[in-house]
Structure 1
Amino acid sequence: MKRLLLSLLALFSLSAQAALTVRIPQPESLPPMYSYYRQLLTLALEKSGEEFVIKQVTLNEPQPQLALKLRDGKPINLLWAGTTGEYERQLLPVRIPLLRGLSGFRLLLINQTRQQEFSQIQNLAELASFTGVQGIGWSDVDILKQAGLNISAAPYYTILDMLNRNQQVDYYPRSLVEAHVELTVATAQYPLLMAEPRLLLYYPFAIYFFVSPEYPELADALTRGLDRAYRDGSFIALFEQYPPIRASLPVLQQPRLRLDLANPDLTESTRALPDHYWYPGTRP
C-alpha cells in the first residue's frame, strides 16, 4: 500500500510539473476587452492539449514596464498587446490576430460639446489641429504620431475623465469594440462622452499574445491551440458571439469619412499572415 501511495504521489508530482503555468497581469481596473482575451487564452490552452493553470498577477504598471517584466518571465510570462517590431524582436509573438484586425478601426471618443468642431474635419491635416490621447506606452502612439497627428499620452484610468471635463485633450481614438464597451459602462460617470458620429480612422494593426522568451513551450502551445481553434470554428464562434464585438460591427456599415493611416512598424511576418486570420477589410 505504501508503495502504491508513493507511486501515485510521484505521478501527481510529474503531472503538476508538466502543466503549463500561465501568469498574466491583472490591473485593479480591468480594461474593456479583458474578459474576451481571458476567454480566448483559455480556449487556446484547452485546444493545445496541454495541462495548464492560469494565475492572475495584480499589476498596475504601463505596458512598457509590463513588457520588460515579460521579457524576464517574472512575475508574468504572458501579455496581450498591440504588436510592434520591438515587441516581436524581444518577446515571443503568437502571430494570430486576437481581434482579427478590427483593432485598426478607430472611433473618436469626444466631449459632446465639441461635436460641431469635429463635424468640420475633412482630412488628417485638419484632425492634426486637435489633440488626441492614448495610454502611456501603447503601441498606437507612434502610429498616430507618424501620421502627423498631435497625440499625448496619459494614464489609462484618467483619460475618460479628462475628456468628460474637456481638459487638455480633444479626442480619444479607440477601437470599435473598446469604444462600445467604454461608452456603455461609463455613461453614468461620464455623461458628456460620445462617439464622434462621422469619422473613422483606420490603420493595419494586430493584437497578439506575447510570451516570455523564457517560456517557448507556452508560445508553442498557444500557437498550436489558436490554430486548432481557427480550424474547428471555435475561435470564430467566440469572436462573433462576444456581445461587444457583435454590437460594434454595424459601425462598419455606416457612411463615415474614413481616414487611412500607414503603420510603418508592421512587420513583414504580420503582413504575410493568411487571409483567414483577418476580418474582411482589415488585411494589411
Structure 2
Amino acid sequence: MIRCLLVAALLFVAGLCADAAPLVVTLRQPASANDPRDTYPRAFIRLALEKTVATHGPYTIQYSERMNDQRARISVERALYPGFLTVVVPNEDGSSVDLIPVRFPLYLGMGGYRVCFVSPLAKTAVAKVRTLDELRRFTIAQGVGWLDVPILRANGFEVEEVTSYESMFRMVAQSRFDLFCRSVVEVRGEAESHADLPELILDKTFALVYDLPQFFYTHRSNRELADRVTLGLEMAYADGSLQALARTHLSDSLRYADMPKRRVFRLHTPPPKGIDFDYRRYNLDLTREVLK
C-alpha cells in the first residue's frame, strides 16, 4: 500500500513538472562565429538540465548577444538576462553579494593545462627554454579580465591584455607579442578554426600548469537554478555520463596538445577565494593520464 502511494505521488509530481512552464536559461553567444570554445560548456549545462527534468521540470535555453568577459560579469551581476549562466572572474577578494557559483568544476581540472601559440620571431628561442626564469623573458597575451591574467602576473610574467579574442590569433602570428597561451581542451579547435593564418604556430616544447578551476556563475536570485545544475552534474558524474561527454568533446584536443612530450612548468596559484567546496576531487592529472 505504501509503495503504491509513493508511486502515485511520484507520478503526480512528474505530472506537475510536465505541465510547468519551461525554465528559461540564458547562455552566452560565442565570442565570434569562428569561436569553438563554447561547444563543451553548452553541452555541460544541457546535460545537467536533462538529468533533472524529472525532478525539476522542463527547460529552454536561449543565448545572449556576443560579449567579452567583463561585459558578461556586468550582465550576470545585474541579472540582465533570465537564468543567465556564465563563466566569469570572481572579485579579487572572492566576495560578491550578487553572484553564486554552480558548485562543480567545468573542465574537471583540465582547464589549467596551457599550451601556447608562439610568434614566428620567438619560436626558436622559446624552443630552447629550460627554466621558468628563461620563459619569463617572453610576453604573453591574454584577454581583458581573463582568469589567467593575475596568475601569470603573480608568477612574474609580462602579460598584455587584449580586448578582442579573434585579434590575438592574428597578433601572435604577426609577432606583436611572443606567446598566446590556451587551454589544452580548447587549442585543437582554435588551431583548426584559424587555419587561414599560415604564420600561427603552436609551440610543441612546453606547457604551463596552474590551478584554474572554472565555474559557471549566476545571479543570487537564481539559487534554485544553480542548485539544480549542481545536482544534475553530480548525477551525471556518478553515472559516468559527464566523463563520457568530456571524452566526446575534449579527447581530440588533448591528443593534439600532446602533453607527454612537453616540459611542464608548474606555477604557484592560491586557492580561489569564495569557493568553499572541494572541487579538486574531480581533477584529472594530465601529466599521468590522458582522457581516452
Q: Using structure 1 for the length normalisation, give the TM-score.
A: 0.85
1:72-131 deviation digits (Å, cap 9, x = unpaired): 211354333265465953211112111111110000111244321101212222222111
Matching residue within 37, 40, 64 for 2:44: 40
Quickly say closer, same or farther: Cα 1:279–1:268, change in 2 above 3 A: farther
- Are 1:22 and 1:78, in contact at CA under 8 Å, matched by a contact in 2? yes
Match of 2:261 in 1: 255
Q: How far apart are 1:69 and its partner, in Å?
A: 1.3
Match of 1:165 in 2: 174
Query: In structure 1, what is the Cα distance between the partners aligned to 2:18 and 2:261?
Result: 60
Higher strand share: 1
Quickly say closer, same or farther: Cα 1:105–1:53, change in 2 above 3 A: same
Q: How far apart are 1:206 and its partner, in Å?
A: 1.1
Bigger shift: residues 29-38 or 97-106: 29-38
Matching residue within 60, 65, 70 for 1:58: 65
Which residues of 2 match residues 17-166 of structure 1 at below 5 A?
19-27=22-30, 29-30=32-33, 31-49=35-53, 50=56, 51-60=58-67, 62-75=68-81, 77-81=83-87, 84=90, 86=92, 89-90=95-96, 91-154=99-162, 155-166=164-175
- Are 1:70 and 1:79, in contact at CA under 8 Å, matched by a contact in 2? yes
Q: Secondary structure at the match of 1:74?
A: coil
What is the one-letter code of the residue matched to 2:234? D
Which residues of 2 match residues 239-278 of structure 1 at below 5 A?
239-242=246-249, 245-250=250-255, 251=257, 253-267=259-273, 269=275, 272-273=278-279, 275=281, 277-278=282-283
Query: In structure 2, what is the Cα distance between the partners aligned to 1:265 and 1:224?
Result: 23
Q: How far apart are 1:183 and its partner, in Å?
A: 0.8
Quickly say closer, same or farther: Cα 1:101–1:44, change in 2 above 3 A: same
Quickly say closer, same or farther: Cα 1:115–1:12, change in 2 above 3 A: closer
Unpaired runs of 5+ in structure 2? 1-15, 288-292
Bigger shift: residues 202-211 or 252-261: 252-261
- Are 2:88 and 2:217, in contact at CA under 8 Å, matched by a contact in 1? no
Quickly say closer, same or farther: Cα 1:191–1:270, change in 2 above 3 A: farther
**Is 2:235 the partner of 1:237?**
no
- Are 2:207 and 2:259, in contact at CA under 8 Å, matched by a contact in 1? no
Quickly say closer, same or farther: Cα 1:270–1:113, change in 2 above 3 A: farther
Quickly say closer, same or farther: Cα 1:13–1:221, change in 2 above 3 A: closer
Match of 2:4 in 1: none
**Is 2:218 the partner of 1:211?**
yes
Identical columns (%): 28
Unpaired runs of 5+ in structure 1? 1-10
1:131-166 deviation digits (Å, cap 9, x = unpaired): 100011111100111000000100212100101111
- Are 1:95 and 1:270, in contact at CA under 8 Å, matched by a contact in 2? no
Query: In structure 2, what is the Cα distance between the partners aligned to 1:199 and 1:28?
Result: 27
Q: How far apart are 1:54 and its partner, in Å?
A: 0.8
Quickly say closer, same or farther: Cα 1:269–1:281, change in 2 above 3 A: farther
Q: Using structure 2 for the length normalisation, give the TM-score.
A: 0.82
**Is 2:194 the partner of 1:191?**
no
- Are 1:78 and 1:209, in contact at CA under 8 Å, matched by a contact in 2? no
Quickly say closer, same or farther: Cα 1:110–1:271, change in 2 above 3 A: farther
- Are 1:108 and 1:196, in contact at CA under 8 Å, matched by a contact in 2? yes
Q: How far apart are 1:204 and its partner, in Å?
A: 1.0
TM-align CA RMSD? 2.4
Query: In structure 2, what is the Cα distance between the partners aligned to 1:37 and 1:174?
Result: 16
Query: In structure 2, what is the Cα distance between the partners aligned to 1:121 and 1:274?
Result: 30
What is the one-letter code of the residue matched to 1:258? V
Query: In structure 2, what is the Cα distance between the partners aligned to 1:120 and 1:147?
Result: 20
